[in-house]
Every structure is written in structure tokens, then in C-alpha cells.
Structure 1
Amino acid sequence: MDSDNIECVSSIDGLEDEEINSHHPHNYHQSPNQYSSKPHNNHGVSSGIAPTSVHELLECPVCTNSMYPPIHQCHNGHTLCSTCKTRVHNRCPTCRQELGDIRCLALEKVAESLELPCRYYSLGCPGIFPYYSKLKHESLCNFRPYNCPYAGSECSVTGDIPYLVNHLKDDHKVDMHTGCTFNHRYVKSNPREVENATWMLTVFHCFGQYFCLHFEAFQLGMAPVYMAFLRFMGDEVEARNYSYSLEVGANGRKLIWEGTPRSIRDSHRRVRDSHDGLIIQRNMALFFSGGDRKELKLRVTGRIWKEQQNPDAGVCIPNLCS
């Protein structure tokens, strides 16, 4: 589907319909500098000075990541991680001597006694972890940077939520709206041609949080379908505090979807492939379009609300955005 042939119109919180243009994906080739590693020379080997701490001794000279067992060494005592041993074709990156299968057991023992801060301590993580537990924590750390949530691109930018909001607005030209209700109209001149296409049309700001609205067309088995869903710009636990609804209909009929927005920790493709959103088959979409069914005119409305715990009843009650 050619995104140039689809017109997207939105009215937010009672405002008049305004035209929203869909945008082609943009590619980025590097992440923000605040998340980059140490500089490397042309051979991929760290160009820093000799190690001056135990932590630096445990840093692989090729990838600069912390080394975990098995830690390998050459006959001259230079060490590197097991992953990079294969990458350097069994040659020591420091002295170029052939690597055998020598384990550096002494360094592995030293690592067992260490407790180190999370690599994201500069982003706010206060945790101190045993060396061999640190890696697992970092893979799940709530302070780790988020990937850019823009759909339909291979954007490699990472950062915190404020940084990504500005990135989406400035670099991907995504529309930004304040409010918890939305009204999108999708128009396609030739709906019989359904190819894989994705759009992230809008980022909504409400309850002090940001939400991404996605809409796309793809083949579900042999059936062409349209799908809309919402993602939360934050972690999964916090996403559970919010709910949203999507509605599409016409001619006295309607489809309604209610659910919890997925965190942007889950990739766009993972959410889509789980079918966690409002799915509209093409025939139903054309029925909602009315007329001679030769043009798609699909209006999707929705709202976001926050679930508040009622301490007296022990249940959640919706807190609607005013």
C-alpha cells in the first residue's frame, strides 16, 4: 500500500477535523552519544590506555563489554571474551599470537568477588550487583534506554522518553497532540490493493504520559485486514495503569476494542503479530465506508483512561481525562 494514497484526518478532544499526513520511514545510523561505548581504533580494539582497575581488567579489548566465563587468554596472558575469540579468528588482538584453549581461571575467580553498579547508573539506577548477576539485571533494568518506537523503519536511535518524544517530532515528523480522545479518518482510493504498510500517526500526551497510536494494513493469512493499536511510552508495569478503547462503525453497526496499551519495550512487530488491537477485515471496512465500496473511508475513534484503585472496594475505577 502506498502511504501517499491514504489521507489521515484527526480531531482531538472535540476540535474540528484537520488533515494529518502519513510519513515515509526515516533511517538512522547511530544512537545518541550518551549511550555510546569507548572509542575504538580501526581494528575494532579499544584504543584506551592500559587497565588501571579490576573492572578494566575484566573488559574485553575487542568489544569493550564485560567478560564472563569462559574468559580466554593467550600464552602471553592477554585476555578476551569467548564471543570475540571467534571474531578474531583465534589470534590474540593484542600480541597477534595464536590463541589456544587456555582459560583465565584467576580472572574468573576475581570476578566472583566483585560487586559493581549497573551500567545505567548515570541514568538513575541505584543498584549494586554481584558481577555475574549484573548482566541479567541490565537486560531488564527499568533505567535502560528505550528503542525508538517509530513503526516501519529500522531506526537505531535509543534514549529516555523525553529524548524520544523530541526525536519522533523532529526527525520522524510524527504529529503530537494533547488529550485523551482521538478521531482518525483513513481514506484509500483503491482498497482492493492491500500491501503491508505501517504508520505511526500520532503521539498523545495525557495524564503526564505519552502514547503512540499505530494503524496499518497487512495480510492475515489470506485475508487483507486493517489494524489499530496503542503503545505506552514507558515500562510494562506502568502501562497496566492505563486502558484504552478503539471504535469503528457506520450504518448502525460498530466494532469496539478495549485493552491495555503495550509498552514500547515490546517491538511494534511483536504487538502486531500478537493481534493485540482492533482488527478490521477488508469487507467489513468497506461496509463501514458505505457508498459503492470503491473507496475506503474508515473512521476510528478512541479514548485513553487511567485505572484508579478504589481502596474501599478493592477494585479499579476509570479516571477519565477531562
Structure 2
Amino acid sequence: MKNIRQSFFIGFLVLCIAGFLLAGCGGQKQADRQAADIAKADTPKSKLIVVITPSHSNPFFKSEAVGAEEKAKALGYEVLSLVHDDDANKQNEMFDTAIARKAAAIICDNAGADATVAAVKKAKAAGIPTFLIDREINVTGEAVSQIVSDNFQGAKLGGEEFVKLMGEKGNYVELVGKESDTNAGIRSKGYHDVIDQYPDMKMVARQSANWSQTEAYSKMESIIQANKDIKGVICGNDTMAMGAMAAIKAAGLKNVIVVGFDGSNDVRDSILGGDIKATVLQPAYRIAQLAVEQADKYLKSGSTGEQEKQLKECILITKDNAKKLETFSMKE
């Protein structure tokens, strides 16, 4: 009888130990499943980021695309880079492509402050967040981020340098960007906020060259024919500044002060060569990378940790610091 009780006790003890071991294994498996679920939740379902910009023939926009693509690939994403050529209808089709491809996010330098709103809303409704760079849209709450250079601050820097170079007097020309582009108006306002304080500064012509080098050349040719005593030209971007400088040289004019805006390598070289006198750097490459970083954070956590509208300061570029400028960023 004693042996039976001992056998029963030993059997019971074995069953208990086995039960504890099974429970431990089950608990471990459950913990492993929970860890896997958390890791899965932190990983975006799609690994495609669509980058949409204006034409890469403008080095500024190419720099944006390159910066975004490099950062996205470094973070483990695939990239589809598209060009809308400032055509809102074409841009709309590209948003449709991003939606059809079930993109994780869209990085966009847009084709119009008003014209882009519907596309951003459409992407949002499809569960795809948009991160805007360089140009804002005229609504808030639809894009996750709108990261742009402080164009007004930058234009004031350019305007102040222009006035100084002009000796606070003389006839000048302003070439503005695409009229539908918010930045064109902001930069012009920033320039005039400074220049208009000097009564001896006389604007003899103001025309849009639509951000184009060839158009700037053509417009300046016509302006020079009517105004041989031009002392300076202030431009809404570097591409137009290059066109203006070429027209000035072709006309045989000397000592005309040209100031641009963007911080391109072409204008850097022109400044170092003694032609164009100054530009204003807006850090396009870094802004594009920042947008991708915020997209990655948003996809993983549901928040960028930043306000929607973010302004990044611009830097005046002259002969003193032009050597540090490289592809829309300053070398250390």
C-alpha cells in the first residue's frame, strides 16, 4: 500500500512539472508572438516611396530627387522618382500611380499651391501620407508635412546684398518666377521689402521668366534694348540669373550686378569667376532628406513629432563663402 502511495505521488509530481514546463513554453511562445506583432506594427506595410518633382533639367529639382532617393534607400525603401514638369494634370496622374502602387508615402515638390490640394486629399483618402517640400499648398491638415525654405527671410538677405552692391542707387530689373508659384511672390515681396526703402533704386522693368534660363535670356535681351543704363538685375532663382548674365554679356554691358536665389553649383562657379555677385542658398538636398526621415518616422509611429509647416533658414552666398557650396548644401 505504501509503495502504491509513493508511485501515485511520484506520478503526480511528474505531471505537475510537465504542466509547469508546458505553461512556460506557452508563455514564451505568446511573448514571442507579441514581440513579432509589435515589430510588424513598427514596419510600414509598403516599402515604396514615390518622389514627385518638377523637371530634373533644373539642378535644384534634381538635387531634391537625388536627396530624397538616397535617404529613402538608406532607410530600406524602394523609390519611384517621377517628374510633373509643373503640369498639374500630369502631377495628378502621378498621384494616381502612387495610389495604384500602394505607396507608403509621397514626397512632392508640387505643381501649384491650389492645383495640388485635390491630389493630396485623394492620396490621404487612400491612406497614403504626403510630405511636401520647397512649395506649400494653400490648405493645412491634408499633407503631413510642408517643409520649405524661409523664402521671405532668404529674399531679404538677397535684397540687402543687392542694395549694398548697387550702392543704394541705380536702375535695376527684376525677373520673377512662375506666377502661379507661391515662392515667386514671396521672394519678390522679400526683395521689395528691402529695396523699396531706397528711393534712388529705380525698377525699370519687372517680368516673369518662369524660372527658365532661356526665357530669362530672351526677356533680358528685350529689356536691355529699351534700357541701356541698367545697373543691376535681381532674380527669383539661379536659373534665371544665369540667363540674365548671358544676355548682359552678349549685349556687351559691363559691371552689371546680378543676384540670384537657390544656391546652384552653376551660380557658385559664376560668383567665383567674378560674374554673378551673390545668391541665396535654400538647402534643397537636406530638405528632401528631412521629408523622407519624417515620412519614415510617421509610418512607424503615426507622428513626425513636428508641426505641419516647417521653415528652414536660407544662407547668403557671396565670393567669401562660395567655395563651401556644393549641390545646394554647405560643406563643413
Q: Structure 2 length as normaliser, TM-score?
A: 0.22
**Larger helix proportion, structure 1 or 2?**
2
Kindly indicate which of the two structures has a greater share of residues assigned to strand. 1
Of the two, which has the highest radius of gyration?
A: 2
Higher RCO (C-alpha under 8 Å, 6+ residues apart): 2
